[in-house]
Amino acid sequence: MSISKLPVHPSLESLRKQAKKLARDILAGHSGAIARARAQLPKAEMPLSQRDAQLVLAREYGFPGWKDLVQEVKQLLGQGVEWAVSEARRFIHDNNVEGLRQLLAEYPALLFWKANENDGGLLGMATGSYGDSFDPLASSTSRARHAPSSCSMPARSLRRRYAMGSSPRALRF
C-alpha cells in the first residue's frame, strides 16, 4: 500500500472530483478502481458510496479520514493564497492581464482576500497601481479615465457593481 503525495497546490474541488471518478469507475467495474478501494477498505461493499470513495482517497494520501485531508488542504491553501497575492501584485504592476486571469482561475480566493479590514483587496491593488486610493463607493469619475485599458468593464461600472453587493466573481479582468 503506497501513499500518494498531495500536489504542491492542492484543490478541494479536484479531490472531490477524484473521489467521484473513483466511485463511478468502481460502479463501471474497472478492476484498478476496485483494487484501490479494496486496498483501503477491505470490507466495504461495492459499489462504494461517495463518502467511502472520499475515505479511500484520503487514505491513499495518508490521512485517516476525509475531514483530515480537507483540513490539511485548507491549511496549505492558506499559505498558497499568500504566494498568489505576491504574484497578483507583480502581474498588476506589470499590467499582465492574462497572467492575472490565470492566477484568478487557480486561486479564486484572491477575489475576497484582504490584508486587513481597511484594505481594498485585489481591486485596491489594481487601483493603487494607478495612483488612486480604493473607495468603491466614491462617485468621482476620474478613476474611470485611469482604469486599465485591458479591463473588460469601466472602473465606474466595477465600482457600481461592487457597491451594489454583487459578487466579485462576476468581474472579468
Predicted pLDDT of residue 71: 80
Reported pTM? 0.47
**Given a cut of 50, is residue 106 above it in pLDDT?**
yes
Task: Select the more confidently predicted residue: 60 or 173.
Answer: 60
151, 162 in Cβ contact below 8 A? no
Share of the chain above pLDDT 90, in %: 34
Task: Select the more confidently predicted residue: 67 or 142.
Answer: 67
Predicted pLDDT of residue 8: 78
Task: Select the more confidently predicted residue: 14 or 118.
Answer: 14
Cα–Cα distances in angstroms (integers) from residue 39 to residues 80, 92, 129, in the given order: 32, 48, 54
CA-wise closest residue to 128 among 163, 158, 157, 92: 92
Q: Mind giving me the DSSP string for 111-125?
A: GG--SSTT--HHHHH
* Structure confidence by residue, pLDDT tens digits, 8-54: 788 889 999 999 999 999 999 999 999 999 999 999 999 999 999 99
Long-range contacts of 102-109 (CB under 8 A, 24+ apart): 104/173, 106/9, 107/80, 107/81, 108/169, 109/77, 109/81, 109/84
Predicted pLDDT of residue 149: 46
